[in-house]
Structure formats: structure tokens, C-alpha cells
Amino acid sequence: MCNNEIVRILIIGSGAKEHALVWKFLASENFADPEIYACPGNFALRKIVDCIDADIKDPDRILEIAIARNIDLTIIGESELFEKDIVSKFKAANKFILGPTKAAATIEFSNYFAKNFMLQNDIPSARSAFFENLNLANAYLTTVKFPIRIRFDKVFNKEETSTVVYDLEQALMTVEEMLTPSVFEKEKPLIVIEEILEGHQITINTLADGTRALSLPPVQSYREDDDYGHLFDRGAFAPTPILGEDLMAEIRYKIIDPTINALAKLGRPYSGLLSFDLVLDANDNNKPKLLQYRTNLLDSDAQVILPLLDEELFEIFMAAAKEDLSFYKDGFHKFMGSALAVNVVSSDKTEDYITPIHSLELLESIDHQLENYQTILSGMPLMFYGTKNLKQNYAEIFGATAVAETLVDAQILAYKLADALQLPSKTYARNIGDQGML
């Protein structure tokens, strides 16, 4: 039965994740015709919701929009806004927003804080060391086993945030470059040198209210380093069969609960989405170890998690924003099957900039394509659209997603949809889901 109350939702971002969120809200059974605004949104979203062209790096401007449009809940897809303390601004104005304060979000945007936090709270993670001094860093490099990852402390103040190096010579050159301050540096560079763990990479996305964190279906993501040091999201599947009840209980006991409890004790209570990127360390009896925290879903996380959730998304997000999830039990997963997403990337490069393709004919034909694929398998095929900006790079991302009773069926259906897309250029990983075929 539908609720006659009109809810107004503002979503900040332009990716496939934001498209997936809009799709989930529009599919609500409890709220008829929700008013949804996307800022800035993307080409596909402009066809189904109101998009607002505004500076999404300005938290004050976003708050103005939320007040002017009488928004009930604002959802932030751009994690940099948490560093600018947009949540505290919204709370001061008595407006609901899903996300952590700047103090709590430090767990993502400062590697130094996060790694020390893990160490102090006995949270298992990869071995790492931090350096400001070039000579000390060089001396340390002679003691490590390659390959290793080198990255800056602050996540959001560098374009090239992470580099994998494979030998001592490459490491020495990389560290010297990273620790040499430019004329634009406002603070002395700080880097972390970190071991690379081998094993299955999984993500546990949670919703937190400051005192508890409720887990969403566990995701196995496929990511690759791009030319700019960022991890590029190639696709995912959920739930991953690698995580049994015992292993999930261990992750909650050793990683998730200690994180939430320790942040609260530090006076940094965390509410909103909190993601735990983990590796099952193949060199240590497949013990789960934490790679990093994230304050937001990846595109592929949203593409495979949202179709599986049985809870009303607006209600559960609002409960987290109000910092009270006591009504809900841990674990949200209604559909007894699997979801798989393949991210198809298309771009059209010019000399100076890669401009949007805006594949109008393709987007308008998606519904017809889905009708055809519905007869192939008993599953639910979906297409999500987003954009990605890099240095002199603009790409469109088409998330070919399928939900079916088995992971094999979901994989077949998603790849049939990905293969059928007609684009000027098209690249995507061919192995999404293979690790789940146990």
C-alpha cells in the first residue's frame, strides 16, 4: 500500500551509482511518485528526474538547494564533500543528510589517521610505514618485499593518489618524486609505503548510525589501476559465496564493530554509508585484513546491492541520517540469488579533452533491449549510466547489470547486454564473476 506522503530526495553526483539510487527510489512500493533531484545528474537521469546544474564542490550551495526545494533527505555521492564538513552544515540547518561529519570521514581521506587507527584498535591490516623524510623512506625501501603500493596520506588533495612499484629502482624514483614538494604545496608531503596483500578482495558495505553498523550484501569487486593512480571500477557481483557465516562473523567481530565503537569513543561517531575494503590474505590462512575505509559506495557496489535489498531504501537511509537504526536487524538481502554488473566504458578522445558521447539512440533503445533479454533467462537485466572525469579524460560508463537465481545466469545475462551495446568505442573486463564460481 502506498504512502500518500510525498518525499523529496536530493542526490549529489553524476555516476552510475546515482542512476542506480534513482532507479531504486522510483521503484518504491511505499512512496508514490517521490520527487527526486540530481545534482548535476547525468544524461540518462535528465530523462527521468529533475537535474540541477550547480557547483557540487560547494557545500553551501548544496545546502541552499536543499532548503529551497524543501528536500527531506540529501544523499552525497561525492566523498570530497565530507572533508568540507557538509554534514555539519546540514545538521546546523536542521536538514537531514546521509553521511559522516568531517571528523568521522577522516577515516577515509587521511591514510595516516586510518592506519594508526587500525593499529591502535588491533584491526588486522596490511603492514605499512609513513614518511616525510626522503632518506628514511629510501632506507626503508631496502627492507621491503616487492611489489608494494606507495600513496599520499591525504586522499583528496592529489590527482595521482596511489602507485604500485615492482622493484627498488622504481620505488626510489617514485618516492623522490612524491616527497619533493612543488611550489604549490601548502604542506609537507606525507606518504605511506604499504605491502600488497594477495588474495580475494571483497567489500562489506554498511549503514551506520554512530553506535552500530548494519551490513549490506557482501560484494566482490573487480578494480584496475588506471593511468592516474586511481582504482578503476570494472564491475562486481553480490553476494560473494566466499563469505560464509563464520567468516562474516569474524569480520564483524574483528573489524566492523571495533571500528564503529572506537570512532564513537574518539568523539567521531560515524553515521551514513561506511565501506570496508578487505583482502582474504592468501599468505596468512585467508585471514580477513582491512585495506581501507570508504565513505561511499562504488558504482558497481550500488549496481549489484540495490536490486537485492528488501528494505525500503528511503526509510533505511533516513533512519541512518537520523542516527537510529535500532529498528533494523543486521543484513539486508531479499532476493535469494545473485546480481552481477559489468561496467562498459566508452569515450571519444579529442586533442584537448574527451567530450561526452551522449548516446541518445542507445539510451532510448535500452528498454527495448531489456524486453528482448527478459526472454533469454528468468532474470532482471538493468542498465545504469554514468560519467567519469579524469585528467584530460571523459568517459561514459554503462553498467550492464543482471539479477538471477544463480551467479552463472546473472553473468550470462549481464554479458549478453554488455556485448549488445553499440558504442563508438567499448572496453570492459571479461572475467567479472569468475571468482565466484566455486
pLDDT over 80 (residue 5): no
Q: How many CB atoms lie within 10 A of CB 241?
A: 14
pLDDT band, residue 376 (cuts 50/70/90): very low
CATH number 3.90.600.10 given to 337-438: yes
Identify the pLDDT of residue 231. Answer: 61
Identify the pLDDT of residue 47. Answer: 83
For residues 387 and 400, give the distance between their C-alpha atoms in angstroms, rounded to a whole number.
14
Describe the strand order of the beta sheet including 393-404 as a list of residue ranges: 220-225, 231-238, 338-346, 393-404, 379-390
Identify the pLDDT of residue 182. Answer: 67
Q: Give every CB contact of residue 409 below 8 A, 6+ residues apart in sequence.
A: 338, 377, 378, 379, 402
Greater model confidence, 33 or 225: 33
Looking at domain 8-98, its CATH architecture is 3-Layer(aba) Sandwich (3.40)
For residues 10 and 81, give the distance between their C-alpha atoms in angstroms, rounded to a whole number.
14
Averaged pLDDT for residues 293-316: 93
Identify the pLDDT of residue 144. Answer: 94
pLDDT band, residue 248 (cuts 50/70/90): very high
The tens digit of pLDDT for each residue in 259-271 reads 999 999 999 999 9
Identify the pLDDT of residue 141. Answer: 96
DSSP state of 307: G
pLDDT over 60 (residue 176): yes
The tens digit of pLDDT for each residue in 404-434 reads 989 999 999 899 889 888 777 788 999 999 9
Identify the pLDDT of residue 10. Answer: 98
For residues 393 and 80, give the distance between their C-alpha atoms in angstroms, rounded to a whole number.
20
pLDDT over 60 (residue 351): no
pLDDT over 60 (residue 437): yes
pLDDT band, residue 135 (cuts 50/70/90): very high
Distances (CA, A) of 394 to 57, 358, 388, 422: 18, 12, 6, 18
The domain locations on the chain are: 8-98, 127-195, 198-334, 337-438
Greater model confidence, 392 or 322: 322
pLDDT band, residue 353 (cuts 50/70/90): very low
Class of 127-195 per CATH? alpha beta
* Plot region of 323 (φ>0 → left; ψ -120 to 50 → alpha; else → beta): left
Identify the pLDDT of residue 163. Answer: 84
Q: What share of the chain is helix, strand, coil (3-state, %, to 5)?
A: 35, 30, 40
- Give the closest residue to 16 by CA, choosing from 234, 339, 272, 240: 234
Provide DSSP, 171-230: HHHHHHHHHS--TT-SS---EEEEEPPPEEEEEEEEEEESS-EEEPPPBEEEEEE-TTSP
- Give the closest residue to 66 by CA, choosing from 101, 97, 45, 22: 97
pLDDT over 80 (residue 183): no
Provide DSSP, 94-121: T--EES--HHHHHHHHBHHHHHHHHHHT
pLDDT band, residue 319 (cuts 50/70/90): very high
Identify the pLDDT of residue 91. Answer: 97
pLDDT band, residue 227 (cuts 50/70/90): very low
pLDDT over 90 (residue 212): yes
The tens digit of pLDDT for each residue in 106-121 reads 999 999 999 999 999 9
Identify the pLDDT of residue 112. Answer: 92
- Give the closest residue to 370 by CA, choosing from 398, 400, 327, 404: 400
In the chain, the percentage of residues whose pLDDT exceeds 90 is 62
CA atoms within 13 A on the CB side of 177: 13
Four-way CATH pick for 198-334: 1.10.3720.10, 3.50.50.60, 3.40.50.1260, 3.30.470.20: 3.30.470.20
